[in-house]
Amino acid sequence: MTTTDPYDADVRDTTEGPIYNVAGGDWDEVLEDATHDERMVINLGPQHPSTHGVLRIVVELEGETVTQTRVVIGYLHTGIEKNVEYRTWTQGVTFMTRTDYLAPLSHEAAYCMAVEKLLGVQAPRRAQLIRQLLLEINRISSHFVYLATGGMELGSTTAAALGFREREVILDVLEYITGLRMNHAFIRPGGVAQDLPPDWKDRLTAFVKTMTERIRMYHKLFTGQPVWRNRLKGVGYLPLDGALQLGVTGPVLRSAGLAWDLRKVEPYLAYDEVDFEVPTSTEADCWARYLLRMEEMDQSLKIIKQTMKLLEPGPVMVEDKKIAWPAQLTIGPDGMGNSLEHVRKIMGQSMESLIHHFKLVTEGFHVPAGQVYLPIESPRGELGYHVVSDGGTRPLRVHAREPSFINLQSTPAMTEGGLIADLIAAIASIDPVMGGVDR
């Protein structure tokens, strides 16, 4: 069957079922309506210092006024969601953590909680609290990168240098807890890879104290700076009705006045046991989004302090030995549970333990057939995982409702009618991560 509309999919029947060939048409045809005598079409990106990642923006200009904005994505496509279908449920975490590389722990947590929902198990309380700690530490890191990259795109090298300085401090903390700066694969189905280090309390107390002081410094340096304020105020306006129609979530939605935060409205982990506020604004512009993220970092520090008090000794992985990986083992230097004591035991004393260990690592565990959708609040908004199982040791389908992808479609609404320079500020205020957009 062949279609005439370039936007329809050609269908070809094969022994494995129908194959669809989706084409978007040539850009020459798509841009035909953008040819005017008094207007100019320019490309920003996909490789450009002001595109907030590997993003192409086709802009039609009349003078310096933007008359039309088209966002072109797909330059960072990795096929993560498809690749996961060929990995065990636990191995899938190593892919999900690479999706939004500024908030990897959000993806790990959402994916693992979806798998646990299919399994009908709950991670131990200590594991859930450790997850909550990591998510809030990671949220602060992500917001600092928003400030650094957004500031740099607007010409503030000071914002870039300082924002990445704070991120380095946070990456050191994450490395101290998980063993890696990024792509941690620390949150696993059933719990977390290992317990917190012995002196975690002193380290995190010092971290909270440092970050509290640093955030105050940013308010002095940026919030009270007339140039910074004037550059953001009234720019990238997106009212509440527009945000709702576009499906926008996160700080962009809250900047328009709706206090929608899944940690409050549909609590998960232990968010209903800690006291924190959901900051909102009605200004619905870049300035409001900046202030919101600054306040959200303060609220994250409050959550971290309260979560530390809730932590009590206990297991960090489910008891079911058919799921737990790593199992209840002495953690070795590789962080994977392969300590010399354990290897000595299974190699020399128990053939059954050796066989089980081998099958768990190579084949994985079976997950009952079914499908779930599990959303959490990532630094950019609602991150949801739709996970489908056919009862096997690998996912049948995994799809992420990625907030960067949804939020990015608000770009034309924010920028058309404004100046070309303000388009850069608007995209920075959305804070998209292209790894999450393209997947």
Name the domain count of the chain. Answer: 1
Predicted local confidence at residue 50, as pLDDT? 66
pTM above 0.95, yes or no: no
Is position 161 within any domain?
yes
- Give me the pLDDT at residue 28, please: 61
The reply to whether 282 falls in a domain is yes
Tokens 């859930």, residue? Answer: 128
The answer to whether residue 431 is domain-embedded is: no
Other CB atoms within 10 Å distance of the CB of residue 331? 16
User: Residue 249: inside a domain, yes or no?
Assistant: yes
Q: DSSP string covering 4-58, please?
A: SSTTSEEEEEETTEEEEEE----HHHHTGGG--TT-EEEEE-SS-TTSSSS-EEE
**Domain membership flag for residue 113:** yes
- Residue 432 is assigned to a structural domain of this protein: no
Q: Which 3 state secondary structure label does DSSP give 101? A: coil
Q: What is the pLDDT of residue 287?
A: 93
- Which residue range(s) make up the domain with 259? 82-318+366-402
State the pLDDT at residue 141: 92
Q: What pLDDT sits at residue 349? A: 66
Q: What CATH number has the domain bearing residue 132?
A: 1.10.645.10
For residue 380, tell me if it sits in a domain.
yes
Amino acid 15: pLDDT:
73
- What secondary structure letter does DSSP report for 100? S
DSSP code per residue over 249-273: -THHHHTTT----HHHHS--TTGGG
List the pLDDT tens digit at each of the 439 positions of the chain: 444 554 566 777 877 677 766 665 665 666 566 556 677 888 887 777 667 778 888 888 888 888 888 988 888 888 899 999 999 888 888 999 988 889 999 999 999 999 999 988 898 999 999 999 999 999 999 999 999 988 888 888 888 888 889 999 999 999 998 888 888 889 989 889 888 888 898 999 999 999 998 888 888 888 888 888 888 998 889 888 888 988 899 999 999 988 999 999 999 998 999 999 999 999 989 999 999 999 999 999 999 999 999 988 888 888 777 777 765 444 555 555 556 666 666 666 667 767 777 777 777 888 899 999 999 999 999 999 999 999 888 999 999 999 999 999 999 998 888 888 889 899 989 988 888 888 8
Residue 336 lies in a domain: no
Q: Please report, as a single letter, which amino acid is at residue 148.
A: A
DSSP string of 178-225, one letter each residue:
HS-SS----EETTEESSPPPTTHHHHHHHHHHHHHHHHHHHIIIIIT-
